[in-house]
Every structure is written in C-alpha cells, then in structure tokens.
Amino acid sequence: MNLEINSSNTDAEGEINLNKCERVKTCIDSYFSMNPRLTLQSVEDKTSVPYSTLRRIMLLNGNPQPESVIKIFQALGYDQELYQYMSDFHPDIASVMAMKTSHNIEYSYIKDEDREYFVSEDYYLIINLAYSTSGTSHEEVAHVLGTKGVERLEELVKRHLVIKNDLGKYIGAVGNYKLSFADTKKGIEMALRYYRLEEAGSINNWLSFQTESLNTEGLKALKALQQKHFNERKEEILNNPVYNGDLKVYSATVSSTFLSYSELGDLQ
C-alpha cells in the first residue's frame, strides 16, 4: 500500500512539474515569436539561467525552481504572467509579490487585444495626450501629427480606448492602467524621443543626474526611496485640482548601474 501511495504522489508531482514547464516554455516561445532571430543561448545570456536548465524546460522534462522562473519571466518581460504562475504553483511567493506591489493595486493591466495601441509609436503620443486630466482635441493632435493623427484618434474612439467627454475633449476610457515590464520598456524608449534636451533647465524640462558608489543594500534603499517618497510627493501635485491645467507633462525617476563588473561582491 505504501508503494501505491508513493507512486500516486510521484505521478501527481510529475504532472505539476509538467504544467510548470509548459507555462515557462510558453513564455519563452512567446519571446521567440517576437524575436525570431534569438536562440536559447540568447535566453541564457539574458536571464542568467543555465542553458541546461532552459533546455530541460523546453523539453518539458524538468522541475523549474522559483528562482529560475522569476529570472526568466522578469528578464523576458512577462511580470504579469509571473504573478499568475506563482499564484498557481507557489502561493506563498505570490503573496509576498502582492504585498510589494500593493501601492498600485488599484491599477489593472491593459487587455491583450488593446496592448498594441499602448506600445505603438503611431499611437503613443495620442494615448498620452488623451490620458491626461484635460484630455486632447482634434486640433491638438492635428497640430502635431496631421490628418493621419486625427484618423488614429478616431480609431482609438472606435476601439473604446478613448471617449469624448461633455466638453468635447477626448480622454482616456480605461482609467488607471499599467503595462507589463516589457511594454513599459517600450514606452520609456518612446518617451525619450520627446525629451527636449534644448529646454533642459527650464520650467518645462529639467534633469537631475548624480553618480555614486553603493553596495547592494544601498541600491535597494535608493529604489525604495524613489518608489515611495517621490511617487507620493508626485501624486500630491498631479492629483491636486489646484494644479490642473492644459500643459501635458510626464515625469520619471530612474536609477541604474553603469557596469555589470563587480569587485569583492560590491556593485561598481
């Protein structure tokens, strides 16, 4: 009887491992579909997960450990799918992830069928103009993007991603939203193209840049400071009706390390 129980447990564990591999493989296959020239070696380079581990996953013959799965999903830009994976297979880890993102829990991910409009350069400016407090107009869009821009604005209206309010302005219809990490990276790249360097230092455009040497704990502390204090102070201004107006602005706070090189375990 003990043998039968052990066999049953083994079968159940094998089924779970198979499901894990299938989910991670789907993530990697999706990444390959968007980057057809890349190989599994490219995924190893990007995720730091050993090639042998990745190969076992792709052959549906492994037991992906949480650490490896986190590296894969996050590095390839599938953070939304990562949370679902952890909810299904490692609920204790999922609960910790939920706590860390509770500050923006009121935001929801854009639906898959609408994602292309939020990451497309053709619609990027229109989306960001419309999703501001004052919204946008035919005239404003036409001034920057011409007739083609107005046509794209109307397409967003047909898709119910933008609506026309009682004042005749076009505003975002989705409400508070967030994008996956991969899509956010695309958004950052597009935003940088609108940064007017010639106006840096003016009231319209400012930039603060500082470098220093930190250890890992210092880097974590800096990230926490930027996430909490800057965002809280920023929201006090952006959500204050006293400051509502027609000027469209965007803000961002960024920190990164220059090199992957390390000496004695410290970030350089």
Q: What are the boundaries of each domain within the chain? A: 2-100, 103-194, 196-268
Q: Would you tell me how many other CB atoms lie within 10 Å of the CB of residue 2? A: 6
Q: Is the pTM of this model over 0.75?
A: no
Is 3 or 160 the better-scoring residue by pLDDT?
160
pLDDT at 6: 54
Q: Which fold has domain 2-100?
A: 434 Repressor (Amino-terminal Domain) (1.10.260)
Task: Report which residue type is found at 112.
Answer: D
Residue in the block written with tokens 């049953």: 8
Q: Is the dihedral of CA 18, 21, 27, 33 positive or negative?
A: negative
pLDDT at 9: 58
What was the pLDDT predicted at 5? 46
Q: Which residue has the higher pLDDT, 183 or 82?
A: 82
For range 253-266, the mean pLDDT: 66
- pLDDT tens per residue, range 86-139: 999 999 888 877 765 544 555 667 787 888 898 899 999 999 999 988 899 999
Select from 241, 263, 19 the least CA-distant residue to 134. Answer: 241
Distance CA 204, CA 45 (A): 40
SS3 158: helix
Reading the block at residue 195, the tokens are 């940064």
Lowest mean pLDDT among 94-103, 138-147, 196-205: 94-103
Q: From residue 170, give the alpha-carbon distance in Å to each of 150, 151, 201, 233, 262.
A: 11, 13, 31, 28, 50
Q: Determine the Cα–Cα distance for residues 29 and 58; give it in Å rounded to an integer.
A: 9
Is the pLDDT at 46 greater than 70, yes or no? yes
pLDDT bracket for residue 35 (50, 70, 90)? confident
CA proximity to 163, closest of 211, 212, 130: 130
